[in-house]
Amino acid sequence: MSTALHPPVRRPQRVAYATCRGVEDGEAMPVLAAFARLGVSAEAVFWNDPGVDWAGYDLVLVRSVWDYILHRAEFLAWSRRVSALTRLANPARVLERNTDKTYLRELAAAGLPVVPTLWVAPGDPVDGVAAVDWPELVVKPTVSSGARDTVRTADRAEALAQVAALTAAGRTAMVQPYLAMVEDEGETSLLYLGGEFSHAVRRGPMLGGGFADVAREPDADQLALAARVLAVAAEPGELLYARVDLVRLADGSPALIELELTEPRLFLALCPDGPDRLAAAARALLPGTPDRAPVFHRRDC
């Protein structure tokens, strides 16, 4: 007589969608619904809610944790704590490196084309900023998102004042040429889910001009650069999601402006099955999932 009468009863897999207070994340509900379609129990949770039992989740998905900008050390400590209890995506090691844009300097040193940038840490000389012949400058902090504390100006004195304000607050400033192509061709964001290219977006400029974000087909040189960036920045299989933001330099060649591996908006609404792609890729990370490799069928998005 067989002894294996019943398969073991398994509780549904649980996913925490990590967000923060006071933000509107339009991607949360569609992604939670996509998990539900897969039979996975997912819920939105504030990353800094002290009452959460993180060990009770099979996966913690880092998403709209946008207030970490003001609490980076606390956020990174949280990511390490959660990693000791359960699976965190993207992993703590990635978040640590990616939440400070000095990673761009490392990628440039590795030979990747990055927007020309002067880096001014507290105490550094600022003569370089006065010397550049860029007609317009962008000054921004290395820890930021959504163009927070970012200034565009043709006035050196104003640029230097912003550098001084950032460094006086103990922050490192980045000074770049203003790339006017963000107002016509636009910045291109390439979205990767589960390690595969999913879709791309033409981004509206944030420091002037203005048009809405729309889906776009990336050019071959953009896809090639994004693949190179990801190969240098992460181990194979390490990233659940990634956004590679590219611009074009004066000679037309693509260059990296930002690599978003922490809390990128994924523009899932611009891709018909975007939420399902993310949920499928996330489920493939869960313990005991039979189909470990997500299969996407690319449609127009």
**CA pair distance 167, 152, nearest whole angstrom:** 17
Q: How far is CA 301 from CA 68, 79, 211, 281, in A?
A: 30, 32, 18, 18
CB closer to ligand ADP, 33 vs 206: 206
Q: Say if residues 280 and 35 touch (Cβ distance below 8 Å).
A: no
Which residue, 155, 146, 148, 154, is CA-closest to 169? 148
By three-state DSSP, how is residue 279 classified? Answer: helix
Contact flag: residue 70 with ligand ADP (CB under 6 A): no
Span 107-126, contacts to ligand ADP by CB under 6 A: 115
Residues 193-222 that bind ligand ADP (CB under 6 A): 203, 205-207
- Pairing, β 87-89 against β 59-62: parallel
User: Are the C-beta atoms of 172 and 200 separated by less than 8 Å?
Assistant: no
Within positions 196 to 235, which residues make up the interface with Mg ion, using CB under 5 A? none
Q: Which is nearer to ligand ADP, 140 or 283 (CB)?
A: 140
Q: Which amino acid is at 280?
A: A
For residue 226, state whether it binds ligand ADP (rule: CB under 6 A): no
State which of residues 79, 99, 142, 176 lies at the interface with ligand ADP (CB under 6 A).
176
> Does 187 engage in binding with Mg ion (CB under 5 A)?
no
Per-residue burial over 79-95, b = 16 or more CB atoms within 10 Å of its CB, e = otherwise: beebbeebbbbbbbebb
Tell me which residue of 137, 133, 176 sits closest to 159, measured CA to CA: 137
**Using only C-alpha atoms, what is the Rg of the chain?**
21
Smaller CB distance to ligand ADP: residue 54 or 66?
66
Which tokens sit at 149? 């504390």
Shortest CB 183 distance to ligand ADP, Å: 8
Q: List Cα–Cα distances, 109 to 112, 157, 190, in angstroms.
A: 7, 29, 22
- Please, what is the minimum distance in Å from the beta carbon of residue 245 to Mg ion? 5
Binding mask 29-68 for ligand ADP (x = CB under 6 A): ----------------------------------------
The residue type at 236: P
| Span from 21-29, 70-78, 146-154, 282-290 in contact with ligand ADP (CB under 6 A) | 146-154
Residue number of the CB atom closest to ligand ADP? 206
Measured from the CB of residue 227, what is the shortest distance to ligand ADP in angstroms? 20
Residue nearest to Mg ion (CB): 258
CB of 261 to ligand ADP, least distance (A): 12
Residues 230-269 close enough to bind Mg ion by CB under 5 A: 258
Residue 144 binding: pick among ligand ADP, Mg ion, none (C-beta 5-8 Å cut-off by kind): ligand ADP
List, edge to edge, every strand of the sheet that includes 196-203: 214-215, 196-203, 187-193, 241-248, 254-260
Q: Which two tokens stand for residue 262?
A: 């922490």
- List residues near ligand ADP by CB under 6 A: 115, 138, 140, 144-147, 150, 176, 178-179, 182, 187, 203, 205-207, 245, 257-258
- List residues near Mg ion by CB under 5 A: 258
